[in-house]
Amino acid sequence: MTQSAPEKRLYIKTYGCQMNVYDSERMADVLRPLGYAVTDEPEGADLVVLNTCHIREKATEKVYSELGQLKLMKRRKADAGGTMNIVVAGCVAQAEGEEIMRRQPAVDLVVGPQAYHQLPELIARTHRATGERLSADFAADEKFDALPTERHVTGVTAFLTVQEGCDKFCTFCVVPYTRGGEWSRPADAVIAEARDLAAKGVREVTLLGQNVNAYDGCDGGLAGLVRQLAKVEGLDRIRYTTSHPRDMDEALIAAHGEVEALMPYLHLPVQSGSDRILKAMNRGHTAEHYLRLVERIRAARPDIAMSCDFIVGFPGERDSDFEATLSLVREVGYAGSFSFKYSRRPGTPASAMPGQVAEQVMDERLQRLNALLQDQAAAFNQSVVGRVAPVLIEKTGRHDGQIGGRSPWLQPVHIDGPASLIGQILPVRIEAATRNSLTGSLVLEPA
């Protein structure tokens, strides 16, 4: 019997947004031909990649604390005669590569988001001499061209990056600096990747981009791309995130009413309900503009689930501004949302603005906003109880004989049923709801 070369163990920890989840999968794809197999335990791994996020302060601090743990694991492995290479990737790597190398000497390589395709070469170099650092440029097209065309698929849903970067320069945000300007992947490359995914059993794709609805890689923008993807055999559900209100054009709104595969869910961040704050944030829209936009979207697709991002405590935010945010939330009625305390990001215009808001005030506002958003999420989930909804069965459930899937509105649904149903879209009668999920039972279709 011949023995194949032992697999090298690769541990990737992903922080932050879904684009990082996609990037991590692609890093694994790039490294697989070199003999690296993904493991879910860092202890003993040959290569550890931290795919980092720089969007808020805590995200960065978590990376440094993780690196402290990894340093000890690296030492233990060395004591046992092995090696562990530590790579810091993602937006923290891009923003403060040198600082990372200085603060944590156990790090072998720092690599920004546009240079993942060079990982094999860079890792080979770190094997020879540690301390190599790559300052990534913003040639996103080069990266995508160099990534393997084949993807390793593990489920029936997948992320697919179609756009990167941002030109909007909201005054609180680091993304335009860490991810560069807006760039769209050509539609034929996206379609080819979607076909590959569908052939491997993927039934739902989520198109990703920091400003995904600014996509301009084909005629008709994102709406044109969605219409082309809807024709890909086997691909039954399409979602996209994250969108900017300024790029929500008529064609995309119309697609929500016309393209059956486009799911009735839209993450459309507003950040604040106060025009004064929106102006200071450089958002390029008012609260009224956003509300009218939601109205038009709901006219096209009345059952659409709206989701949002909010920042509380942006510099200069007064009680009256925060009240305006609450009032916008009440007017829209969200299915689910994310809210954050403003976090001062070095180098962004807002970090130098007067009127930084006290932590305690931010805490109170966040609590009030979250309470309202949670009530709305519970109400939204409750509103589908009693209905029969098509659910994409994605995985086995926590208990034996249980399976889990997603409703068209992105709610997790728990159902009793066999694992053999994974990958099917089946009618489910929704029987109960909590703030976070639904419970239902399979409706047996007449033969």
Q: Using CB atoms within 10 A of its CB, is residue 416 exposed (0-12), middle (13-18) or buried (19+)?
A: middle
Instruction: Name which of 24 and 126 has its Cβ closer to ligand 5AD.
Output: 24
CB 438 within 8 A of CB 381: yes
Q: Which amino acid type is present at position 170?
A: C
Contact track, ligand SF4, 149-188, x by CB under 6 A: -----------------x-xxx--x-xx------------
Closest separation in Å from C-beta 269 to ligand 5AD: 4
Closest separation in Å from C-beta 172 to ligand SF4: 7
Taking CB under 6 A as the criterion, the residue among 26, 56, 237, 244 binding ligand 5AD is 56
Span 317-376, contacts to ligand 5AD by CB under 6 A? 340, 342-343, 345
Decide which of ligand 5AD, ligand SF4, none touches 323; Cβ closer than 5 to 8 Å per partner kind: none
Asked if 60 touches ligand 5AD (CB under 6 A), the answer is: no
Decide which of ligand SF4, ligand 5AD, none touches 211; Cβ closer than 5 to 8 Å per partner kind: ligand SF4
Residue 195 corresponds to which tokens in the numbers above? 């076909």
Cis upstream peptide for 242 (omega within 30°):
yes
**Calculated CA dihedral for residues 134, 187, 38, 127, nearest 10 degrees:** -20
Span 229-288, contacts to ligand SF4 by CB under 6 A? 244
Closest separation in Å from C-beta 321 to ligand 5AD: 15
Decide which of ligand 5AD, ligand SF4, none touches 93; Cβ closer than 5 to 8 Å per partner kind: none
CB 9 within 8 A of CB 37: yes
Asked if 290 touches ligand 5AD (CB under 6 A), the answer is: no
How far apart CA 173 and CA 44 sit, in angstroms, is 36
Residue 273 corresponds to which tokens in the numbers above? 């309900």
Taking CB under 6 A as the criterion, the residue among 20, 163, 178, 210 binding ligand SF4 is 210
Q: How many residues bind ligand 5AD (CB under 6 A)?
A: 12
Dihedral sign from CA coordinates of 175, 177, 179, 183: positive
Q: What is the DSSP letter of 262?
A: B
Closest separation in Å from C-beta 443 to ligand SF4: 40
Asked if 311 touches ligand 5AD (CB under 6 A), the answer is: yes
Residue 446 corresponds to which tokens in the numbers above? 């007449």
Give DSSP secondary structure letters for 80-108.
Answer: TT---EEEEEEHHHHHHHHHHHHH-TT--
Instruction: Name which of 213 and 407 has its Cβ closer to ligand 5AD.
Output: 213
How far apart CA 140 and CA 150 sit, in angstroms, is 18
291-322 per-residue burial string, b: 16 or more CB within 10 A, e: under 16: eebbeebbeebeebbbbbebbbbbbbbeeebb
Closest separation in Å from C-beta 167 to ligand SF4: 8
Closest separation in Å from C-beta 179 to ligand SF4: 8
Span 45-64, contacts to ligand SF4 by CB under 6 A? none
Decide which of ligand 5AD, ligand SF4, none touches 168; Cβ closer than 5 to 8 Å per partner kind: ligand SF4
Instruction: Name which of 36 and 215 has its Cβ closer to ligand SF4.
Output: 215
Q: What is the DSSP letter of 173?
A: -
Closest separation in Å from C-beta 65 to ligand SF4: 25
In three-state form (DSSP H/G/I as H, E/B as E, the rest C), the secondary structure along 265-281 is EEECCCECCCHHHHHHC
- Residues forming contacts to ligand SF4 in the complex (CB under 6 A) are 166, 168-170, 173, 175-176, 210-211, 244
- Residues forming contacts to ligand 5AD in the complex (CB under 6 A) are 55-56, 172-173, 269, 271, 309, 311, 340, 342-343, 345
